[in-house]
């Protein structure tokens, strides 16, 4: 008689509330817990970008910018925490920030590639963002000193260090020299 094989339990968004508070970033991708530790350089890039977007938003009341501590529970069930994200004011329920995970995709998601990141996982996350409603994804590769821009319409472009990130229709009028944040 064969012994039944037990299937590993797929985790849910609620399970993320019980992960250890150990300073690491946890995400839920296809029911699996993914740990994404970040170093000082990584966080420096994210911080410099958050400051620039935040200053822009002080004059352009379009929504809110967030760091990697935020969690978005996407329609697919995945829970992601971009390194930097922007949410338009129209997405915030009654104009208020929810207590728990955002039950929507960010309008802009920024992922900064770390040396420990698997490119397959990072590329899968870009696809997950776009399939769930994110309009613009900036994938910043500090080692190659460039950013790859993914758009909801399927177009992709590469910005070199001497170029500028552009908020396009998501953050109209926002630009940032890539070299200033790398």
Q: Would you say residue 160 has pLDDT above 80?
A: yes
Among candidate residues 142, 134, 135, the one with its CA nearest the CA of residue 159? 142
Q: Would you say residue 153 has pLDDT above 80?
A: yes
Q: Which pLDDT tens digit goes with each residue over 71-105?
A: 899 999 898 999 999 999 998 878 778 888 888 99
What would the two tokens of residue 92 be? 């915030």
State the CB neighbour count (10 A cutoff) for residue 122: 16
Looking at residue 143, what is its pLDDT?
A: 92
Distance spanning both ends of the chain, measured CA to CA: 60
d(CA 146, CA 140): 6
Q: Would you say residue 41 has pLDDT above 80?
A: yes
Which one has a higher pLDDT value, 159 or 79?
A: 159
User: Residue 28's pLDDT band (boundaries 50, 70, 90)?
Assistant: low
Torsion of CA 148, 154, 155, 160, to 10 degrees: 0
Share of the chain above pLDDT 70, in %: 82
User: Residue 42's pLDDT band (boundaries 50, 70, 90)?
Assistant: confident
For residue 40, what are the CA distances in angstroms to 29, 36, 37, 181? 25, 13, 10, 13
Domain annotation for the chain: domains and CATH numbers: 39-181 (3.90.1570.10)
């Amino acid at each position: 008689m064969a012994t039944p094989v037990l299937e590993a339990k797929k985790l849910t968004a609620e399970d993320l509330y019980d992960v250890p508070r150990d300073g690491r970033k946890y995400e839920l991708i296809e029911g699996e817990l993914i740990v994404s530790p970040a170093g000082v350089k990584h966080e420096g890039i994210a911080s410099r970008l958050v400051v620039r977007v935040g200053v822009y938003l002080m004059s352009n009341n379009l929504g809110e910018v967030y760091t990697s501590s935020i969690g978005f529970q996407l329609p697919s069930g995945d829970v992601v925490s971009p390194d930097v994200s922007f949410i338009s004011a129209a997405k915030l329920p009654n104009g208020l920030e929810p207590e728990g995970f955002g039950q929507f995709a960010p309008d802009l998601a920024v992922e900064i590639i770390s040396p420990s990141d698997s490119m397959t996982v990072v590329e899968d996350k870009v696809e997950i963002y776009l399939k769930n409603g994110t309009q613009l994804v900036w994938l910043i590769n500090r080692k190659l000193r460039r950013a790859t821009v993914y758009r909801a319409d399927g177009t992709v472009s590469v910005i070199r260090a001497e170029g500028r990130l552009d908020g396009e229709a998501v953050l109209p009028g926002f630009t940032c020299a890539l070299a200033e944040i790398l």
